[in-house]
Amino acid sequence: MPFVPVETPKCPKCGKSVYAAEERVAGGYKFHKTCFKCGMCNKALDSTNCTEHEKELYCKNCHARKYGPKGYGFGGGAGCLSMDTGAHLNRDDLDGVRNGARLEPKKIAKAPEGEGCPRCGGYVYAAEQMLARGRSWHKECFKCGNCAKGLDSILCCEGPDKNIYCKVCYAKKFGPKGYGYGQGGGALQSDCYANGEMAPRTAAIDVSKIKARPGEGCPRCGGVVFAAEQVLSKGREWHRKCFKCRDCTKTLDSIIACDGPDGEVYCRTCYGKKWGPHGYGFACGSGFLQTDGLTEEQIAASRPFAPPSTTSILAPEGEGCPRCGGAVFAAEQQLSKGRMWHKKCYNCCQCHRPLDSMLACDAPDKEIYCKACYGKAYGPKGFGFGHTPTLVCTGEGETRNLYTDGKPLAGPKSSSGCPRCGYAVYAAEQMISKSRIWHKRCFHCADCRKSLDSTNLNDGPDGDIYCKACYGRNFGPKGVGYGLGAGTLTMA
């Protein structure tokens, strides 16, 4: 029994065998890794952005450009539609490029008449021959005679004109034509009749020629409605041709049709514009309310009017809003310390910032403040508590800063005291560095006086303490070494 080699799948792009170590699968076809790229923009693809169309690979963007919807539909120019067909990617200077390398045209020796490639007439050698109908073709010439699509033994169809075609073009050129099998069955097509004399003629039918009795015909044209073309809406019969939106003439069906109070039918959008809610209702102008059908005067007249003053209705003494004295109703009340305020009056008495239950602070003077103004008016003063940055001095006289240099003013001095000021250090205020004890106030950088902690403390050779930046400036490496200008070296 003769040896039969195992058939390997062919790459649709280059026509060569594809082995398991280099295959990429898309649309049921196997491609080489190097061939697995977009046919328009030459972008490398993977399983997440690959789209296959008739054995040709595209990225999602190029596939949408070439085969996606075009024009200005879906509401007059929706952003998802465009007129980009990818023409800027089909440049003539890329015709001879494959995998980034330009293929120079080959000179083919002409063969005697009837012996060479049927398409170009050149000699066909064994390494590049493709057989069809007992004739040898070049691999590059083995294409559809109509759409120039690359063929193989599965897709190739030999036509009566001694040419080869893909299955689609063969069916268009030599397959059955016409409008049979139920007027246009999927197996029959009529490409060649599309604009020719053999195409069936569809005449514009005037459905209003046969008039019905008053009140019985189509509400739009008044003609008689027969069973084959009737559409029902609200118990009335319409012609299928007349069943359109009154305003935008969009074709309707039972899902999107809306019967208007004027006896006409509308699509949902036009019905909402003409008969839907308008103005500033539902919480004064919600996003789902629109004013397409109103003039500027009607819109202005329908705006809600709110009295500018909350004191129009005064409350009994001690029962109204603490700020303005007006009566507070349930729709506008805000509670604070058992008292009711207007929403408009519920703001900081100093900076007038609007407040809520998280920001409001009740003060001893029975007013309300935001947190910042409350801290300024009633919070601690001075620069105590370890130089806390949140404490400020806003008053005069006795509230001024009492510690000008940040050092203790009294107490016994000792050799074991703070290295900076010499005074004794007690447990409540001590900071430890290299077995030495410092005051919290004295525990700062010797150069920039920045407050230190265990994360940025550096003990200097001179016995003082520094932050990391000052330590590096004083005791770190200098010069332009380590690769001529490394960023960690400085001349400071």
pLDDT score, position 346? 92
Query: Percentage of the chain surpassing pLDDT 90?
Result: 12
Looking at the domain assignment, is residue 47 inside a domain? yes
Q: Residue 44 maps to which CATH number? A: 2.10.110.10
Burial label for 467, CB within 10 Å (0-12, 13-18, 19+), is buried
Task: Give yes or no for residue 331 having a pLDDT over 60.
Answer: yes
Domain assignment present for 249: yes
Domain check: are 165 and 221 in the same one? no
Q: Residue 395 domain-assigned?
A: no
For residue 370, name the pLDDT band (cuts at 50, 70, 90).
Answer: very high
Q: How far apart are the first and last CA of the chain?
A: 89
Residue 83 located in a structural domain: no
Specify if 449 maps to a domain: yes
Residue 388 lies in a domain: no
Q: How confident is the model at residue 165 (pLDDT cuts 50, 70, 90)?
A: very high
The model's confidence at residue 84, banded by pLDDT at 50, 70 and 90, is confident
Q: How confident is the model over 110-139, as a mean pLDDT? A: 85
**Does residue 348 carry a pLDDT above 80?**
yes
pLDDT of residue 224: 92
Number of other residues whose CB lies within 10 A of the CB of residue 469: 16
What integer is the mean pLDDT of 145-151?
87
Residues 67 and 15 in one domain: yes
Q: What is the pLDDT of residue 112?
A: 85
pLDDT given at position 440: 87
For residue 283, pLDDT beyond 60: no
Which pLDDT does position 168 carry in this prediction? 87
Nearest one of 289, 311, 307, 313 to 299, comparing CA atoms? 289
Residue 318 in this model has a pLDDT that exceeds 70: yes
Burial 208-235 (b: 16+ CB within 10 A, else e): beeeeeeeebbbbbbbbbeeebebeeee
- Most trustworthy range by pLDDT among 268-282, 288-302, 420-434: 420-434
What is the pLDDT, as a whole number, of residue 182?
46
Q: For position 244, what pLDDT does the model report?
A: 92
Structural domain for 461, as ranges: 430-475
> Which of 36-40, 281-285, 478-482 is predicted least confidently?
281-285
pLDDT at 176: 79
Structural domain includes residue 398 = no
Cβ(423)–Cβ(439) below 8 Å: yes
Would you say residue 190 lies in a domain?
no
- pLDDT, position 465: 92
User: Do residues 215 and 270 both lie within one domain?
Assistant: yes
User: Number of structural domains, the chain?
Assistant: 5
Average pLDDT rounded to a whole number, residues 361-376: 90
Q: Final residue of a domain: which of 227, 247, 275?
A: 275
Which of 344, 378, 412 is a domain's end point? Answer: 378
**What local confidence, expressed as pLDDT, does residue 426 receive?**
85
Q: Which of 71, 101, 120 is the last residue of a domain?
A: 71
